[in-house]
Amino acid sequence: MNSILSILVFFPALAAMLGFVVEKNSARAYGISIAAIEFLLSLWLWISFDSTSGAMQFVEYIPLIKDFGISYYLGVDGISLFLIVMTTFMTLIGMMSLSIKTDIKNMIITLLFLEMTMVGVFVALDAIIFYLFWELSLVPMLYIIGAWGGPLRVYAAIKFFLYTFAGSLIMLVGMLYMAYIFHEASGVWTFSITEWHRLALPIDTQLWLFAAFFLGFAIKVPMFPFHTWLPYAHGQAPTIGSVILAAVLLKMGTYGFVRFSLPMFPDASVMMILPIAILSLIMVVYTAMIAYAQKDIKQVIAYSSVSHMGIIMLGLFAMNSIGITGSIFQMISHGIVSGALFMLVGMIYDRRHTKLMSEFGGLASVMPKFALIFGVMLMASVGLPLTIGFVGEFMVLMGFFIVSPFLTVIAGTSIILGAVYMLALFKKSFFGPVTNDENLKLNDLTGTEIAALVPLVIVVIWLGIAPSPMLQTIDKSVNNTLILMSHKAQLPETKNTIFIAPQSTKETK
């Protein structure tokens, strides 16, 4: 287990390189096999993880550039563990449901490289290594949208790249300045994230650095008003691109806030609660209203995705255990549910080559299995009790209620608005008479499609009924983060000087 994280990171990349010699007819089976092995490795990681500890585990540390403190430093805690499992799970499901007809071999290779970068982001504990994986993840997704997307794919791909790349460059400046400040305080250069967590900064410095990291993470989430790239990306991306984008890539932004911004800049984070809450509420309400106005099914789910990410952001800045733990659980919930919804839309698009609600109607009588699974995911999306979507939203609202009951009431409208636009979509597409004769010829779900969707249904219901083991593991690491924030915020030295706090947690292998 000493190298399990390195294996998880680089196994997909090695398999991708070997994929160039795989025959085209065998590429799909090869991709599913590799993704399945990667998923089993992540389950092994989960089983071997000590859920009673909130410290970093399975730590790997190799100095790379000693003079500047850059190292190959990996680790996992309760916050990142389940994001890794979700990443490997959704990649496997995406491979199983892959329906593209052209150049499938290159798509498989691209997805495996993308999986490497996504897992790398969640295990990196050196800022430079984190940044490398963060930036490298743009390249496969740029290629997926630009090569296999819709008519405006090049525009959507470039817009996606420019938005996220610009924010990342500003974040890199913040990282370099953090390393410089640490060097000034200790005489040692380091890009270790866990060492940076010990650095207590004056409030003015915290605010500037918070702003630098905020731009990098907020664009990736994406927060209002940086969200405009997402509907284009989803609208033009192939189904697998939308699945991975919604399920994993957006979570990299919210993960960045909980790994960097909260523990490094606790005073600034507290000061920014109200501005972040306002932006989050705009995401929740405004994009929900836009979703209701859409005529394209995929655009409804795209704007719904932004709305739900607003709930996640609200929970992160509740600054209490129940809010942050609920937010991290909601990241996993949203990844599973939104990924499934995009997959379902892709399946109906493959049959009818349209995503307009006006082209459908009465699908429940023609495709009952499809309608049933779509209905389950829809109910999870709107937060129906006993589904995965309810647990995270309920905990986020409970956590933020402690901060502001009034703003929580506004946030609670997300459940009502979500039900409005999702049920409107379901009514127009699935109920009533079959108004288009072409829909009468549609085939229900195939065996392969059912095999991809049933595991998602099981997870949605299982974690809706019994989320406690996962929540307890997440909560251990969240409490460690909150203790660190509280300790640093109370240090008198943070008022006007830089101070390195004592180590508060131990890392375990």
**Segment of 431-435, 461-465, 505-509 carrying the highest mean pLDDT:** 461-465
What does the pLDDT average to over 421-442?
A: 86
pLDDT in tens, 325-369: 999 999 999 999 999 999 999 999 888 888 888 888 888 888 999
Distance CA 379, CA 324 (A): 23
Q: What tokens appear for 449 in the block?
A: 């499609």
240 domain residue, yes or no: no
**pLDDT score recorded for residue 444:** 87
What does the pLDDT average to over 261-276?
A: 91
pLDDT in tens, 72-106: 999 999 999 999 999 999 999 999 888 887 888 99
Among the listed residues 509, 448, 485, the one whose alpha carbon sits nearest the alpha carbon of residue 199: 485
What does the pLDDT average to over 109-123?
A: 94
- What is the percent of the chain where pLDDT is above 90? 49
**pLDDT score recorded for residue 500:** 59
What does the pLDDT average to over 240-259?
A: 91
Distance CA 308, CA 386 (A): 18
CB 110 within 8 A of CB 140: yes
Strands, E assignment, 160-307: 199-200
**pLDDT score recorded for residue 233:** 86
Distance CA 87, CA 385 (A): 25
Alpha carbon 177 to chain centroid distance? 27
Domain boundaries, position 409: 283-465
Distance CA 28, CA 36 (A): 12
**Residue 280: pLDDT above 60?**
yes
114 domain residue, yes or no: no
315 domain residue, yes or no: yes
pLDDT in tens, 48-76: 999 888 889 999 999 998 888 899 999 99
CB 148 within 8 A of CB 100: yes
Report the chain's mean pLDDT, rounded to a whole number: 88
72 forms beta bridges with: 62
296 forms beta bridges with: 356
Q: What is the 3-state secondary structure (H, E, C) of 209-230?
A: HHHHHHHHHHHHCCCCCCCCHH
503 domain residue, yes or no: no
pLDDT in tens, 201-222: 888 889 999 999 999 999 988 8
pLDDT in tens, 154-169: 988 899 888 889 889 9
| Sequence-distant (≥ 6) Cβ neighbours of residue 163 within 8 angstroms | 219, 222, 226, 229
35 domain residue, yes or no: no
**pLDDT score recorded for residue 503:** 53
Q: What tokens appear for 346 in the block?
A: 């892709």
Distance CA 240, CA 437 (A): 29
This model's pTM is above 0.85: yes
261 domain residue, yes or no: no
pLDDT in tens, 5-39: 999 999 999 999 998 988 888 889 999 999 999 99
Tally of domains within the chain? 1
CB 145 within 8 A of CB 275: no
CB 322 within 8 A of CB 398: yes
Lookup result for tokens 């909560």: 475
For 466, other C-beta atoms within 10 Å of its C-beta total: 11
**pLDDT score recorded for residue 505:** 43
Q: What tokens appear for 114 in the block?
A: 């993308």
**Residue 478: pLDDT above 70?**
yes
- Provide the pLDDT confidence category of residue 1 given band limits of 50, 70 and 90: low
220 domain residue, yes or no: no
Instruction: Give 509 or 417, the one with higher predicted confidence.
Output: 417
65 domain residue, yes or no: no
